[in-house]
Each structure stands twice: as structure tokens, then as C-alpha cells.
A and B are shown apart, each in its own frame.
Chain A
Amino acid sequence: MNKERSIQQTTLLVFIVLLLFFGTIFITASSIITRHSTKELQKRASETALNNVSTYMDASMKNYNYASRLIMVNERVVHFLRANLADKSMAYEARMGIYEITNMYSSISHIDSVYVFRIDGDYANTGKGEYYVDFDNEEKERILSERGRAILAVNCNGMLLKKDDTPMLTLSRAIYDISSQELIGILVININTEAFSEMLSLQQAAGMCLLDTQGNYLCGDFELKRLYTDAFNSTEITSEESKFNGTRTTISGYSPISPLVIMCAGTRVAKALPSETSMALLMIITAFLISILFLIWFISRNIANPIYKLDEAMERTKSSGWLKRIDEQMPNNEIGRLAESYNGMIDYLNELFNRLIEEEKNNQKAEMRVLQEQIKPHFLYNTLETISYLAVQENAEEAHSALETLGSFYRNFLSKGDREIPLRRELKITQDYLALQKLRYGDTFTDEYDLDERTMDCVVPKLILQPLVENSIYHGVRPKGEQGIIRITTKMEEDGIVIKVYDSGVGMTREQIESALTPDKEDSKSMISGFGLHGTINRIRYYCDGDDVVKITSEPGEFTEFEIYIPKMKEVREGI
């Protein structure tokens, strides 16, 4: 299934395909039924037509036969036949006799002419038009061989041929003398084939025609003659599919009476399928269509729309950035359960998140506790006080003082973890540090201070002086081996303060100074280990945001002086 298609669209598509499928089936089926029944109907109609014509022909032939008998026994005809050869007047009499009879039938028959031959070939005739007469034709023998029975032929198989080529149906028979039973002549009745054309045209057929067994046209639809085949010479009705007047149709034909063949082209049937059946089929299709529409509506209302709503609600939840429940009213079905499951999942997730956050908070608290314990060594302070008390009890005043200084140093050194402190406090740290160091190293150095009171409340980065002083002791004064001076000077300037740390120690070489002043590329590393000389300089540069805030002047063997320039920061008062 295409992912981009919605359920609604897919359903619609499926139903359209189904509809097309059923429509095609319907049309095909109905057309098959129609064609089949059309053929049947055509065939039946054709048969009826053929039978009608055949019956009519039978009846006609009976009439003609009857007429022939009357002519045969007509006194004047018999007289002519019994007479001698050259008695012309008798022929006239005979003709009159024939007329008597033919006139009787004139209303019902289409007798074109009647010929009565004597055995010697003389003949009397009635009728219109002229004929070629060929008495000694093979047909004469055939007629005679029938010994008085009437036979049908076309143009008497050549014995009589109308001069205008109009085909004639001939009824011939031998005439025997009633008393002597001797053959006295032959009677030929020429029947105009038009006799049947009216009957042919009366039939409900696309076309009908009358032929002889050779396929010669007698009357009716001339076009149909071209479709003649030998198959139609059978006495049973034969049907063939063929194109007639531009339409495919059934051509039926047979030969009810030798030598005649009747052909019939199937009629066009207006309604092959009963209208009720079509109607019913149409109704089924309509009902199907309506149910599809209903189904689409149903799916859209009960499945697609709730899913859209659910999707929208989820989307809103997503875009809001919070894990919110879906408050949308959902139908109480599978989709409702889906929404419920989603809400359940959201609740669970929220719970998990809350638990996670809680745990994280607890972890942070725990970590904070650890850090606090490291930053605020309560134990250290209390122990220092306890030892101080012991010192006081023993009257060890120096020990008490030293412990007090140590306590003060650590309190300021560790206090709060501030990054910036007032210079007064920074100085206090340094002084405490120097006091403690003096306890260790005795008279190795003296510390001097030249302080500008205005600078005391200025804020400076924490622990910038102590490391410099430490450096002065260990790399300046002590290596020199004689008593030295460490002097801290502060001075207020227009937009900052200048702090100098001077020591009368061994001094620094140019290379040492350059090395100390080279900015450290790996800042983060130096920040961590930033309490040596190099690190401290980097730290001051970082806080003051400039490379030229630290200067070192030195004369090897004489002195070293660090000069720090700190731009003015906010002033704070010590304490609370």
C-alpha cells in the first residue's frame, strides 16, 4: 500500500476499482446475453418467415396444380390434343378453354402463360409475352417420365424461355387421355415469380429472396442472392452468419419445394434484453453504488476522522514540547482504546521522566553535598577551635595565635567558592599565609605593605596575590640565602587598580620572564592547575580579559616585581 495514501483514499480507490470491475462484468454479461438472444430471436423470426413463405408456396402450388388438372380435362384442350396436327382452329379453341380456367384463377394466381403441347410438338398457348420454345428438350423426357405427376422447374429447365429473360416458375405434367389412357400431350404453366414477392415482402425480415437450386434469382431481395450457398439447398433450415446491407446478421434458408430455395436475412431486433432485466441490473448497480458511498462516508466518519483527530492531538502534543495527554473526545471503539493506550504511555513516560528528574536532583544534591563538604571543611574548623582551646588551656599563646591564623587563612581561602573577592580579603589571605610561612622560616623575610585604602574594597579575582607571594618566597627570597623583603603595594588609578608584589630575591632571567608570560594555549588545563605562577598569570589575564595586565620586571640577583593591573570592577563592602 502506498504510504502517502490515507485509509479514506485507499478505500475510495478500492471501491472505484470494484465499481469498474462490476460495471465491466455487467456490460459484458448483458452484451453477451443480448447478442445471444438477438441471434436466437433472429433465427426464430427467420424460421417463421421461411415457414410462412413455404406454407404459402405449398398452398399456391396446390392451387396451380388444381388449375392444371382443370386445364387437362378441359374439353376443348382435350379436343385439341386429340386432333390432328395442322388444325389451327382447334388450337384457338383450346386456348379459349384454357382462358376459361385461368380467368377463374386470375384473382389468386400469377399465371403468366399456359402452354399445351401435343406429342407432335404443336401447342396451344395463352399468356403475355413471347417464349422461346424448345419442345425436344431433355426436360420433355423428365416430364414424361413422371407419368402425369406435376413437376416444378424454373423456365421449364430451358424448354420454355421468356424472351425478356424474366424467370418463370413452371409447373409441368404429361397429359393422358382419360378414356384410352394414352399420352396425348404436355401441359406447362408458367407462373410469374412475382407471385411470391408480395408474400416475401410481407415477412418480418431484413430481406428475403427466392432462388432456384442453382442460385438463380427468382424474386425478392436481389442483394440476398449473393449470399447464396449450396448449403441452402437442404430441405432443413440452414443458418449462416454473414454481412448483409452492412450489418452482421443471420442468413437462413432452405429448399421446401424443389427446385426452389428461400433465403431470409434476420431482422434487426429492437430489444433483445427484456427491459425488466435491464432495470433490475441497473437497480443492483445503483444500490451497489449507494452502498459504496455510504461505506466511504461511514469509514470517513468512524475511522478516518477519529484517526485524523488523534493524529492532530498527538501532533499538538509533540509541537507543544510537553508530554501531554490527549483530551480530545474519542469514540468508544478501537480508536478510543488507541488514544487511551497513548495516554497511558504518556502517563508512564511522564512518570519515568519525573522519576528520572527526581533521581537526577537527588544525585545533584548528593554531589552538591560532597562538594560542600569539600569546600566547607566544618570538621577542620571545629578541630582547629578544639586545638586552639587546648593551646589556651596550656597557655601556649603562640600556638593559639598560629592556629587562629591558620583558621582565618583557610576560612578566607576556601570561603564560598567565590571567584571574585574584595582586595581586603585577598590581602588577608596573603597576610595570613605570610604569617604562617614566617613561623616556618623564621627571619628569612619580612613583609611590608604599602596599601592605598581606596583600593581595599575593589573586587579582584580570588587567589591572585597568594600564589605570587608563594613564588616570591620559594623562587625569590629563599634561594638567595639572605634575609629578604616581600612588599605588596596597591595603588588606585583612574580606571583600575595596580597591585605590585616586590621581592628582593634572586630575580628572573629574560627567558624565565618570557616563559612565565607566554600565554598558555590550553586554557582549560591551566585553569585547573592554575595556582602556580604560570597558571596564576593566565588566570588574571582571563579574568581581566587582556594579555598586558601582568608585567614582570626583574634584575637578576637583585629583585623581581610583578605588576598586575586590574580594571575597575564593582565595589563591595566586606561582610554583610
Chain B
Amino acid sequence: MYRVMIIDDETSARKLLHASIDWEGLGLEFVGEAASGIEAINIIDDLRPDIVFVDIFMPFMNGIEFTKVATQRYPNLVIIVLTGFDDFEYARQCVCLPVVEYMLKPIVRKDVQDVLIRVKDILKKRNIHGQDRMGDPEINPTAIDQIVAYIKENYTDSEINLASVAQQFGFNSSYLSRKFKQETGQSFVDFLLKCRMDRAIILAQSGKKMFEAANEVGIPDPNYFGRCFKKYTGMSFSEYKG
């Protein structure tokens, strides 16, 4: 089962794609969606998709930028660009990136299915099953402490995530993820979010505007930031300020 993720700023577009394709029938698992490139970067470590449908025109981090960042960390990720922009310049940029398919909106189910079948073949040929690689260096508690310190220091960097930290320290990302939870009692993603939200609370108390605070804590997409904040504190940012 390959894992599929959709990134699009339009809810209806995400939902339509989710609803109109028979994923099970194609032997795929729909694991989640993100409303922006920023959100996708933050949750991609948890979702660990093999195939990503990504819209090009999105605020804060467009599909092209997301593709650059994501494929750097997950070289085996299959990106399917899905856009209403029938534009040569975007097409050209996509050609430079490891984008497998380029599809025009509005989507046609048959076209999407055709593409997915092709992509599955590619993944099969690469022999990727989303499994851990063996023989990675042992992660000891000291390393985890270092990583915690590193996160505390660098959480304002919007591009930081499990994969980038794993790369930084030379560990396998899923192994690191497991080990991190084992050592600290919470997932890597949750810990990073906690760092950011704690900071956000301070900023909220100091009367910062939401989009400023979002930028400052490393989540430049204020919509996603707002959702995270509410989830974390149970209150919206403006309520918290008040």
C-alpha cells in the first residue's frame, strides 16, 4: 500500500480528489491532506506519504517551493503537480524538479487513475515500500539531548522538520522518530510544535499580531498557525490575546 497525500489550498479541490477516486481499488491509502506548503512540511514527517498531489499556486509556500524542499529530504517522494495554471513557466520549473506528472485542473477521474497506475509502476520499479533501512548508526540518549537542544535553538526556521534534523545528525528519520518518542515521551513533530506554540503564547501575551507571531515561530502560514495554536491551547490566537 502506497500512501497518498494531497496539498491544495482549496478545501473543495482536496475533498473532490479524495472523494472521487477509489483509492482502495487502486491499492493506495489516502493518509492526509494539507492546506499549504508550510503545513505539509510540518506534517509530512508524521504522514510519511509516497505520493503527493500538490497544487502550484498556494500562499506562503507554493507547490514548486514545496517540491524543492520535500524532494530534498525525501528523494523517493513522487510528486504529481495538479494545477489550473496551464502555464509554460510553471511547467518549465516542474521539469527541472523530480516531478513525475503534471496534471491540469479541472481533474478528470480517468486521467487521475491513469496517472496513479503509472506512478505505482514507477514506485514498484524503485522497490520502495516505505520500510526502514537497516544498519543505521545507533541513537543514544545523548544524541537525543543534542537534538532537543538543536530544536530549541532552531525551531524558528520554517523549513526544519524530522527529515532535515535526521539528515543534519546523520540518522534515519523514522528510526529517529521512534527513538525520539521513546526517549522524550512525545513525537518529534509534537515537540517541535510545542516549542513553537510556547513561544507563540508568549508572543500572544505581548500583543503581537497573529501573522507576525506565525512568522516568528517558524510557521509562516498564519492559517495553519492559527489551527495549530487553537489545537494546542484550546483557544484562538485572538481570544488568547484578549
Contact = CB atoms under 8 A, between A and B. Distances in A.
Q: Check if A and B associate.
A: yes
Nearest to B14: A389
Contact of B12 (A376, A378, A389, A407): A389
Q: Which of B10, B15, B84, B108 has the most CB of A within 10 A?
A: B84
B20 A408 contact: no
B57 to A, nearest CB: 8
Interface string B212-235: 000000000000000000000000
Nearest to A392: B19
B3 to A, nearest CB: 22
Nearest to B94: A576
B106 A393 contact: no
Interface in B19-42: 19-20
B16 A385 contact: yes
Given A376-B85, A388-B16, A388-B20, A382 B108 contact: no
Q: Which of A376, A392, A410, A416 has the most CB of B within 10 A?
A: A392
B105 interface: yes
Interface string B183-212: 000000000000000000000000000000
A139 interface: no
Contacts of A576: 91, 95, 102
A408 B84 CA distance: 11
B175 to A, nearest CB: 38
Interface in A387-425: 388-390, 392-393, 400, 403-404, 407-408, 410-411, 415-416
B84 A389 contact: no
Given A382-B13, A385-B16, A415-B86, A404 B95 contact: no
Interface in B24-83: none
A408 B85 CA distance: 14
A381 interface: yes
Contacts of B108: 404, 407-408
B38 to A, nearest CB: 21
A404 B106 contact: yes
Contacts of B85: 376, 378
A385 B86 contact: no
Contacts of A404: 106-109
A376 B84 contact: yes
A392 B106 contact: no
Given A376-B85, A411-B105, 18 more contacts: A376-B84, A378-B85, A381-B84, A382-B13, A384-B106, A385-B10, A385-B13, A386-B10, A386-B12, A388-B12, A388-B16, A388-B20, A389-B19, A392-B19, A393-B15, A403-B106, A411-B86, A411-B106
Interface residues of B, number: 20
B104 interface: yes
B58 to A, nearest CB: 13
B48 to A, nearest CB: 27
Interface of A: 376, 378, 381-382, 384-386, 388-390, 392-393, 400, 403-404, 407-408, 410-411, 415-416, 575-576
Interface string B86-125: 1100010001000000101111110000000000000000
Interface string B111-151: 00000000000000000000000000000000000000000
B86 A392 contact: no
A384 B107 CA distance: 10
Contacts, number: 66
Given A376-B84, A376-B86, A385 B91 contact: no
Contacts of B106: 381, 384-385, 388, 403-404, 407-408, 410-411
Main secondary structure of the interface of A (DSSP, over half): helix
Contacts of B104: 411, 415
A6 B173 CA distance: 88
A408 B102 CA distance: 15
A514 B86 CA distance: 40
Given A408-B106, A408-B108, A411-B106, A382 B10 contact: yes
A415 B91 CA distance: 14
A358 B158 CA distance: 37
B12 A416 contact: no
A499 B227 CA distance: 57
A393 B95 CA distance: 35
Contacts of B107: 385, 404, 407
A392 B84 contact: no
Contacts of A390: 12
A381 B105 contact: yes
23 contacts: A376-B84, A376-B86, A381-B84, A381-B105, A382-B13, A385-B12, A386-B12, A386-B13, A388-B20, A389-B13, A389-B15, A389-B19, A390-B12, A393-B19, A403-B106, A404-B107, A408-B106, A411-B86, A411-B105, A411-B106, A416-B86, A575-B102, A576-B95
